[in-house]
Structure 1
Amino acid sequence: MTTLINRPNTALLVVDMQVGVVAEAYRRDDVVATIAALVDKARGAGVDVIWVQHSGEELPRGSDGWQYVPELARRGSEPLVAKEYSDAFEATDLESVLAGRGIGRFFLAGAQTDECIRSTLHGAITRGYDVTLVADAHTTEDLSDYGAPPPELVVAHTNLYWQYHKAPGRTAGTVNAVDVDFAGPSDPSPSEPSPS
């Protein structure tokens, strides 16, 4: 259970699925389709969908690359959180958006696995949230030329370590998109790590 008081609600948080962020991403089309299905599932369940959009020197606000991929359309009633740092909570209004909707638990999807997804996972759990990573709904680009592991290993490793992450009074874990239950318990049961 979340350590936050009066936060019984659940949300889907979609991070940085922007044209310039995922143009060269691992399994880009599969991940986009998976997230689109999750968004539909959340809307059908009456669960808030919160969108996060990054900007910076390499991704200027208003540029073509800054736009969300066309396959993912935000509804006007769904919050959009602008960010400039990896952690979606850092110097943004995400906390007030979640608090205003009574959200203490969320499922996380988006990009990039080894930067904004990991930072937001840790940012959330240290702030008291229950946070479940959707194992097949996040991706990253290939940075192996810079010494990083191949993207499929980055995704698999992130799923592995988050599946078993623990913090007092909070839950972490992973789940595949097909098994996401927005009305279910906040304590995800460990399952086999997804290889991708």
Structure 2
Amino acid sequence: MTAMTTLSERPRTALLVIDVQNDVVAGAHRRDEVVAAIGSLVDRAREEGVPVVWVQHCDEGLEKGTEAWAYVPELTRRDPEPLVHKSYGDSFEDTDLEAVLARAGVGHLVVTGAETDACIRSTIHGAFVRGYDVTLVADAHTAPDKSAWGAPPPEQVVAHTNLYWKGQSAPGRTAGVTAAKDVVFKAGS
């Protein structure tokens, strides 16, 4: 995918890891496979000098500092990697994410994490309308089963999000979907 971000002087790509926290992904669709795919992407990004930005949600049901709030043990943030705390679905809303990305010269986001039908969807749209190029990693986002409340089964939620994100377009920026194995990080980009 050719980057076309509308954000001038921001040619770099960052890997965004959203809300892969114990309670958020407990019982999520394909939890172990998704966490493994994210872990592989984190390793590859680090090897290639691509910034990894971690996002962590807290609210009344997910209290900061608790085991439920903690990131899953399979994924470990390194101290120099930014950690953005949020309390809304869109990772940009009332956070320092924009400032973190601006300092790093990032105009393209590779997005992974949870939950597909909430924070992932809100963040990819939030990034896109703010001028970012956004690549959603097809097999590196997940959601729990909310069909008891009228939602489609989680595999359909993931498939639908991947399908419609492929068709997004706007002047001067790109949206796309790719499998984790096909994500290409360019050194220093």
Taking structure 1 as the reference length, what is the TM-score of the superposition? 0.93
Q: Show the counterpart of 1:57.
A: 60
Alignment partner, residue 165 of structure 2? 162
> Percentage identity across aligned positions?
64
CA RMSD of aligned residues (A): 1.1
Q: Which amino acid aligns with 1:106?
A: L
Secondary structure at the residue paired with 2:99? Answer: helix
Distance in 2 (CA, whole Å) between partners of 1:128 and 1:106 is 11
Aligned to 2:14: 11
Q: Counterpart of 1:173 in 2: which secondary structure? A: strand
Do structure 1's residue 45 and structure 2's residue 57 form an aligned pair? Answer: no
**Residue number in structure 2 paired with 1:135:** 138
Unaligned 5+ residue runs, structure 2? none
1:149 aligned onto 2:149: no
Which digits, 9 at most, give the CA deviation of each residue in 1:141-185, with x for residues without a partner?
A: 00000000000000000000001111110000100000000129x
Instruction: Please list the CA deviations of residues 65-110 of structure 1 after superposition, one character each: whole Å capped at 9, or x if unmatched.
Output: 1000000000000000000000000000000000000000010000
Q: Which has the higher contact order (CA 8 A, sep 6+)?
A: 2
Q: Deviations over 1:33-90 (max 9, x none)?
A: 0000000010011100000000000000001110000000000000000000000000
The number of equivalent residue pairs is 185
Query: Residue type matched to 1:158 in 2?
Result: T
1:32 aligns with 2:68: no
Normalising by the residue count of structure 2, what TM-score does the alignment of the two structures yield? 0.96
The equivalent of 1:81 in structure 2 is: 84
1-structure distance, mates of 2:128, 2:40: 25
